[in-house]
Structure 1
Amino acid sequence: MSLPAEALAALDSFQGAPGWEQRARLLMQWGERLAPLAEADKVEANRVHGCESQVWLVGTLQNGHWQFAASSDARLIRGLVALLLARVNGLSAEELQRVDLPDWFNQLGLSRQLSPSRSNGLNAVLQRMRELSA
């Protein structure tokens, strides 16, 4: 499955970062690039359950391709969610079902930094995307 352009850009920048400090800085930068979510979207119905941090997610279908927007109250999680969005935005519902989250963060060189709770939280976000697209 080919990667969206945004995902390729993420891979390029993270694979070029030699150490964890540079990747951590990149992660924060990706989080800052996340478009702010409207306060009206930060409601219980859009909150992702299974995350220790607050994460809100909305999705829209445009010409058979999903576009998601998300926000989190935690900086690190915002960065991880931004990288997840880079990976999934523009995919069809069928492609979304096939996204391999551990593989994606492994390619970015971030899998060792994902604690079990963060990993579970990101899986919950992906699961919510799949539910929205079903």
Structure 2
Amino acid sequence: MASPAFEEIVEDFAFLDEWEDRYAMVIDMGKALPPMEDALKAPSTKVEGCASQVWLHPEIDGGIYRFHGDSDAMIVKGLIAVLAALYNGLPVTEVGKVDAPAELARLGLNEHLSSQRSNGLRAMVERIRMQAADAV
């Protein structure tokens, strides 16, 4: 069910033996995220349950889900980029069908994120699912 962009990340991770290299790749993905407009960093887009400041702003166009996100933590920005690869471009009706924990487990994130980061990642996934459900 994963998008081609997410499958590319899975393939790239397979070539990296050390978690530190994967961690660096996630951070680089975050650095490559387009900046989010400050006007979109509002209470309505803030994700609760994250140790860092996190904002996710949905854009649904023609039934296709897409979001922009930002965080004040580089690793979290990278996780936002991973989630964007997983969800952006899907029909809103398909977003809730994505087994995010299983897909993210393919990257080995579960074993290497702190419990706070894991909770934040779950909160971001829940926000994305709610945004898509609200758009249906």
In the aligned structure 2, how far is the partner of 1:121 from the partner of 1:24? 16
In the aligned structure 2, how far is the partner of 1:110 from the partner of 1:49? 20
In the aligned structure 1, how far is the partner of 2:106 from the partner of 2:77? 19
Partner residue of 1:61?
Answer: 60
Structure 1's unaligned 5+ residue stretches are none
Equivalent AA in structure 2 for residue 99 of structure 1: V
Conserved? CA contact 1:93–1:133, under 8 Å? yes
In the aligned structure 2, how far is the partner of 1:41 from the partner of 1:132? 15
Number of equivalenced pairs? 133
In the aligned structure 2, how far is the partner of 1:8 from the partner of 1:105? 11
Conserved? CA contact 1:15–1:109, under 8 Å? no
TM-score in terms of structure 2 length = 0.91
Task: Compute the RMSD of aligned alpha carbons.
Answer: 1.2
Partner residue of 2:92?
Answer: 93
List, as ranges, runs of 4+ consecutive aligned residues in structure 1 with deviation greater than 4 Å. Answer: none
Conserved? CA contact 2:35–2:70, under 8 Å? yes
In the aligned structure 2, how far is the partner of 1:89 from the partner of 1:70? 11
In the aligned structure 1, how far is the partner of 2:54 from the partner of 2:87? 17
TM-score in terms of structure 1 length = 0.92
CA drift at 1:26: 0.5
CA drift at 1:60: 0.8
SS of residue in 1 equivalent to 2:127: helix
Sequence identity percentage: 37
